[in-house]
């Protein structure tokens, strides 16, 4: 049984040839980073935007050509990292560790900066969230959450649509990463109850397609909720900060008028897509036994215990601090309380927390942050963005709908390789002036929203968002402890959904919502005045 689960999740054939993929990834890295000539356009970007001077100040490069060559090395790391993450040619945690190793030994960043990418606010946040998931499961609170959210549903279709719609809306207003940590064990429990009821002969007959279906439905629904309001993520707040710099600020409710209408559409899209992809593969078509089992177990648990109250209070405290803590506390500070409070109040053993955390997922995500820093600080991301924008101008997509489509597509692709906040921080200062210079009414907001919305669709790489890492890390079969999802599954099932989500934004948001809600008069003029004043 165990062997069958692993084979189903991981795939076989060409993808199983780890040596082959190691050789392919290494060969591409060497070709791009050390053999191909450096394009003159890359040299110009590194020089024009000060990346070369910055690298020389950091003493990681000696001159302009040396700095450009370091940027080429970073460009070579990207495809190698994607191949290793997707195929698990080496364990994904080890691939994550490979990123700072290359940065150290190839002298791509200052040593102090490399360390910060692996121990900054984002890594501490993910570590705390993973610990939070362990604490919730250990005291059984996840079963009560399941009973509250899904206990009233029956069958298969109703629970699925309720899950996708509720998670997409909830993900618009509170931390999707926290919800992912709470709900992943819930999905595992629902799955196990359903397949156990459907098994015969005293042995659990697993249904890997159902396991993937439930976890991906949860993960992708929370992802798409990120467009709904500024509270959904730091990327949205970052974009609002850029608008403030041009005196065209947007308030919370106005953002909701543009973003929230497409959230239910996205939730329905995820549900339908999951049903189309997995419907015929799933053997267990009734989730009722799993939901009933959780309800009955919740009843047997009786009133909430001391450990549950402490854990629930911890969750509320952390959520409260995320909301009101601001920049002083960040996300990482409150999250680390999930390691401290369960031990201090003796609700979860320290060794159990350490053993329950998916260190593979944590190292993987930290490595992705290092890669994001390399892209940003070397000028590689800027060169890729500039190259893409030149292509847009060549094919007459330099304003209006064409510009929105092009910029959102670029943002969506980049956010699968970089953090959503990093993508927004990089593209925001580029795209808003582009929108201003078109002289098209509403463009400063239109292009900014296009970029920010697309950063919610990091579906097809496991490193794209903490949600993906959390589902991968916590999504294990309750009886065997084996992973329910393989990293390549994100590529197989996430890329098409990414394209569909982009299509919804292009059609429903750009052609319908933008026209219905409209844009304020004088937006471009006000922003142009601020831009001109800043250039003087």
Mean pLDDT of 497-502: 97
Taking Cα atoms as reference points, which of 409, 361, 410 lies closest to residue 386? Answer: 410
Identify the pLDDT of residue 126.
Answer: 77
Residue 437 has pLDDT above 80, yes or no: no
Q: Model confidence over 264-297: pLDDT tens digits?
A: 999 999 999 999 999 899 999 899 888 888 788 7
| Selected residue with higher pLDDT from 86 and 162 | 162
Q: Kindly state the tokens that stand for 442.
A: 């509403």
- Model pLDDT for residues 13-66, shown as the tens digit of each residue: 566 678 999 999 999 999 999 999 999 999 999 998 889 999 999 999 999 999
Collect all residues with Cβ–Cβ distance below 8 Å to 396 and sequence separation of at least 6: 402
Contact 176, 184 (CB under 8 A): no
Can you tell me the distance from the alpha carbon of 356 to that of 351, in angstroms, rounded to the nearest whole number?
8
Better-scored residue on pLDDT, 15 or 363: 363
Residue 5 has pLDDT above 50, yes or no: no
* Rounded distance between C-alpha atoms, residue 239 and residue 411, angstroms: 13
* Separation between Cα atoms, residue 446 and residue 400, nearest integer Å: 9
Residue 398, burial from CB neighbour count under 10 angstroms (0-12, 13-18, 19+): middle
Q: Which residues contact 247 (CB under 8 A, 6 or more apart)?
A: 526, 527, 529, 530
Percent of the chain at pLDDT exceeding 70: 95
Q: Are 184 and 196 in contact (CB under 8 A)?
A: no
Burial of 524: CB neighbours in 10 Å, binned 0-12, 13-18, 19+: buried
Domain ranges of the chain: 122-229+251-362
Per-residue confidence (pLDDT) for residue 16, from 0 to 100:
66
How many Å apart are CA 131 and CA 337, to the nearest integer?
A: 9
**d(Cα 368, Cα 160) in Å, to the nearest integer?**
31
pLDDT of 15 reads: 60
Structure tokens at 467: 């949600």
Which stretch of 137-141, 326-330, 361-365, 456-460 has the lowest confidence by average pLDDT?
326-330
Other CB atoms within a 10 A radius of the CB of residue 326 amount to 9
> Using CA atoms, how far apart are residues 168 and 483, in angstroms rounded to an integer?
24
If you average pLDDT over residues 487-497, what whole number do you get? Answer: 93
């Amino acid at each position: 049984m165990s062997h069958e689960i692993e084979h189903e999740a991981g795939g076989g054939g060409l993808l199983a040839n780890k040596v082959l993929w190691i050789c392919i990834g290494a060969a591409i890295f060497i070709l791009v980073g050390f053999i191909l000539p450096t394009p003159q356009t890359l040299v110009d970007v590194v020089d024009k935007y000060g990346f070369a001077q910055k690298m020389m100040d950091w003493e990681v490069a000696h001159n302009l050509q040396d700095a450009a060559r370091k940027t080429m090395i970073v460009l070579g790391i990207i495809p190698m990292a994607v191949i290793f993450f997707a195929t698990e040619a080496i364990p994904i945690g080890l691939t994550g560790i490979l990123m700072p190793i290359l940065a150290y030994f190839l002298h791509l960043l200052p040593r102090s900066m490399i360390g910060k990418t692996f121990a900054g606010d984002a890594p501490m946040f993910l570590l705390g969230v993973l610990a939070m998931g362990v604490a919730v499961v250990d005291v059984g609170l996840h079963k009560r959450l399941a009973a509250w959210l899904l206990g009233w549903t029956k069958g298969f279709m109703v629970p699925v649509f309720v899950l996708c719609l509720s998670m997409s809306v909830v993900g618009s207003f509170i931390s999707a990463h926290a919800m992912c940590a709470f709900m992943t064990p819930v999905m595992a429990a629902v799955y196990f109850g359903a397949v156990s009821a459907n098994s015969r002969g005293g042995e659990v007959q697993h249904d890997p397609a159902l396991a993937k279906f439930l976890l991906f439905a949860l993960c992708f629904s929370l992802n798409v909720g990120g467009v709904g309001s500024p509270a959904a993520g730091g990327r949205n707040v970052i974009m609002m900060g850029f608008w403030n710099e041009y005196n065209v600020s947007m308030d919370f409710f106005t953002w909701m008028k543009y973003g929230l209408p497409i959230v239910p559409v996205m939730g329905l899209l995820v549900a339908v897509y999951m049903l189309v992809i997995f419907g015929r593969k799933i053997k267990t078509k009734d989730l009722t036994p799993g939901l009933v089992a959780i309800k009955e177990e919740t009843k047997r648990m009786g009133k909430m215990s001391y450990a549950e109250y402490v854990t629930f209070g911890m969750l509320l405290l952390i959520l409260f601090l995320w909301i009101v803590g601001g920049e002083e506390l960040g996300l990482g500070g409150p999250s680390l309380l999930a390691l401290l409070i369960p031990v201090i109040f003796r609700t979860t053993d320290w060794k159990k927390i350490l053993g329950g955390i998916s260190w593979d997922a944590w190292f993987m995500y930290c490595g992705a942050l290092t890669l994001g820093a390399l892209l940003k600080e070397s000028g590689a991301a800027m060169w890729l963005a500039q190259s893409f924008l030149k292509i847009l101008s060549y094919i007459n997509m330099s304003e209006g709908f064409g510009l929105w489509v092009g910029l959102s597509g670029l943002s969506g692709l980049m956010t699968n390789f970089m953090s959503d906040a990093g993508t927004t921080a990089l593209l925001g200062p580029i795209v808003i002036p582009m929108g201003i210079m078109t002289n098209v009414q509403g463009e400063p907001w239109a292009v900014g929203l296009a970029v920010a919305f697309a950063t919610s669709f990091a579906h097809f790489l496991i490193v794209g968002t903490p949600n993906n890492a959390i589902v991968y890390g916590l999504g294990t079969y309750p009886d065997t402890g084996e992973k329910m999802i393989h990293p390549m599954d994100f590529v197989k099932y996430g890329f098409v959904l990414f394209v569909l989500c982009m299509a919804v934004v292009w059609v429903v948001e750009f052609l319908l919502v933008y026209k219905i809600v409209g844009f304020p008069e004088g937006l471009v003029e006000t922003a142009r005045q601020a831009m001109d004043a800043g250039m003087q």
